[in-house]
Amino acid sequence: MYTPEFIYNTYNKRIYNLVFRMIGNTDDAFDITQETFIQAFNSIHKFRDESKIYTWLYKISKNKCLRFLEKRNKPTFLSMQELVEKVSSPVSEEISESEKCIYF
């Protein structure tokens, strides 16, 4: 069986390059690469040797990238309470009363 050190040293750069091409940000690519190897090491007992290690790591990292991109591109909505607090904040004093009526 492969040791974690061997797997990491052999495939780290390839997985990082794949993730960076999908994500486009060095910090996020580094984080996702690390998460890929952590997940792989924690589930190495599930690897069945039916494919190459790289194929397995590729699938893990690709799925992590897709989940990351879904979260990043998902629009966020403020709760009603957050909207009230935002409109009631000192910055909102610059908003006219007519503008406040539009939102409430």
Residues contacting residue 33 through CB under 8 Å, at least 6 positions apart: 12, 15, 16, 19, 61
Instruction: Tell me what the mean pLDDT of segment 50-70 comes to.
Output: 93
Q: Containing domain of residue 20, as a range?
A: 4-73
Q: What is the pLDDT of residue 93?
A: 53
Question: Are residues 67 and 89 part of one domain?
Answer: no
* Greatest Cα-to-Cα distance within the chain, rounded to the nearest angstrom: 69
Q: What is the pLDDT of residue 82?
A: 66
pLDDT value at residue 2: 76
Query: pLDDT band at 86, cuts 50/70/90?
Result: low
CA 104 – CA 102 distance, rounded (Å): 6
Q: Are residues 90 and 65 in the same domain?
A: no
Tens-digit pLDDT profile for residues 5-59: 999 999 999 999 999 999 999 999 999 999 999 999 998 888 887 889 999 999 9
Residue 76: what pLDDT? 62
Q: Kindly state the average pLDDT of the residues 61-83.
A: 81
| C-alpha R_g of the chain | 22
Helix (H) or strand (E) run with residue 67 in it: helix 53-73
Residue 32 sits in the same domain as residue 56: yes
- In this prediction, residue 77 carries a pLDDT of 66
Kindly report the pTM of this predicted structure.
Answer: 0.68
**Interatomic CA distance for residues 9 and 16, integer angstroms:** 12
Do 41 and 85 have their domain in common? no
C-beta separation of 39 from 6 below 8 A: no
